[in-house]
Chain A
Amino acid sequence: MVDRRHFIKNIAGGLAALGGLSLLQRSDLAAATGMGESLVMDALPGKEALIKKTFRPPNYETPVSVFDAPFTPNKLFFVRYHNAVIPEAKISEWRLSIGGDAVHAPFELTLEQLRKDFEQVEIAALCLCSGNRRGLFEPPAPGLQWGSGAMGNALWRGVRLKDVLAKGEIDPSALEVSLAGADSGVLPTTPNFVKSLPLTKALDENTLIAFEMNGEPLPHWNGYPARLIVPGWTATYWLKHLTAINVISKPFDGFWMKTAYRIPKDRFPSGQFSSQETETHMPITEIIVNSLITNLADGQTLLHTQPIEIKGVAWDGGDGIARVEVSTDGGNSWQQAKLKQDYGRFSWRQWQFVFEPQHPGQYRIMARATSHSGATQPLEPIPNPSGYQHNAVQKITVNVA
């Protein structure tokens, strides 16, 4: 039975959803060849057409061809939500509250105070969904069936989280920093998307509260007016539409930490977030070394009369990319690609390789990145129940005619 309190929250949620939905109705279904599992291009209000994974909550990925540019345009940047009620922020009413049981002087900030009271910094960083490429796991892993486009590289401008937290006077008992945003579920019984970071990562000089992306205010669908930037860690921690940051002395025990976004400890490097680890499992944390070919599609036909340029991007969790190797013979031999401009260790690195096929035929093209710490990509993805951290060497077959 629905009681009165639920009814009111439902209507409020429904109306908020309605605001988003009426905007959605103006969106344009472009390349739909039918619904279900076929490719659907759709534009959210203020965005250009992206690959629609789900309409509500909105989950949209970026076409891989967009990654030919060093920075992913805001209007083409991927969109990922867990809950469907995503209110549009009113700056006059927006406040960021800093508190928690391990803060001595809780306070609130307006957006203007956030911008003016702390030193502004800008950092290039890859925002990578933990489940990017989940759709490539075999056998399939349940969850949004992402291709390779749940990521984007951007220049983020904001203030350091550590500077903001210092104003609240952190108690020595501080263990984690929890983060909450304005979005919520339709029903009052649905848990809000709340995450936490270990204190050390929250106080890292690269962890920012960002309000600009590629020189513009954050788009609504990417966290306007302020979101967290956690360079080197997957995007589950990059909380959007920030409203509350709490410094706490106990491990945060919400669904999105204790149950979701967890990986088996025996297959990935551990120790980054010990307060959330159990004997067997831990939260996903750092991005692992990876690469992507961005200008060729599997099954594509190319002419052998001219050199074939192979382009891509490579990234890791902050050690930086040492080299990218390309194979054109299915992994029998490898040659080094040319790395392009370095925008910093948290940015992806573009690379390029010129392939001159000697004769027509089928070629198996692969790319493999190695980080400065010596970590490199495996040939097969590391199996895990929720399909995170897919970083297998990509294999593309092209026909040279």
Chain B
Amino acid sequence: MRILILLLSFFAATATAGENQIFLKDRPGKTQVATQCSICHSLDYITQHAAILDRAGWKKTVGKMINSMGAPINDADKQIIIDYLAQNYGK
């Protein structure tokens, strides 16, 4: 776990100038979304899908990230991330 935290802080420290200007809505779950999703991609992937995906769509997308793209997200965080995306960036 310590290594994971180290890694997350490493990736957070390497975010690009452009990426640093993408602000997700400051609501519960943002920390899990921002740290885990941004390991592999910038967060404009999320803002670009605002109002395009409904809850079922976000659930499918997060499932794809875990099952097809190999994102190491545990079940508890998975639910937090789906809730956050559906509530704040849902259709």
Contacts and interface: CB of A to CB of B under 8 A. Distances in A.
A309 B47 CA distance: 37
B72 to A, nearest CB: 7
B41 A24 contact: no
B16 A36 contact: no
Contacts of B40: 84, 185-187, 190
Contacts of A25: 16-17
A187 B72 contact: yes
A53 B4 CA distance: 29
Contact of A56 (B16, B21, B47, B68): B16
Given A2-B3, A10-B7, A142 B41 contact: no
B50 A14 contact: no
Contacts of B11: 14, 186
A29 interface: yes
Give the interface size bracket for B toward A: 20 to 34
Given A142-B49, A190-B70, A29 B18 contact: yes
B48 A186 contact: no
Contacts of A142: 49, 52-53, 57, 61
B44 to A, nearest CB: 5
Interface string A39-71: 010100000000011111100000000000000
Give the interface size bracket for A toward B: 35 or more
Contacts of A1: 1, 4
Interface string A211-255: 000000000000000000000000000000000000000000001
B69 A185 contact: yes
Given A140-B52, A142-B49, A2 B4 contact: yes
A57 B18 contact: no
Contacts of A144: 48
B77 interface: no
Nearest to B1: A1
Interface in A141-157: 142, 144-145
Interface of A: 1-2, 7, 10-11, 14, 17-18, 21, 24-25, 27, 29, 32, 35-37, 40, 42, 52-57, 84, 140, 142, 144-145, 185-191, 255, 259
The 4 closest A-B pairs by CB, nearest first: A189-B70, A55-B42, A56-B42, A24-B16
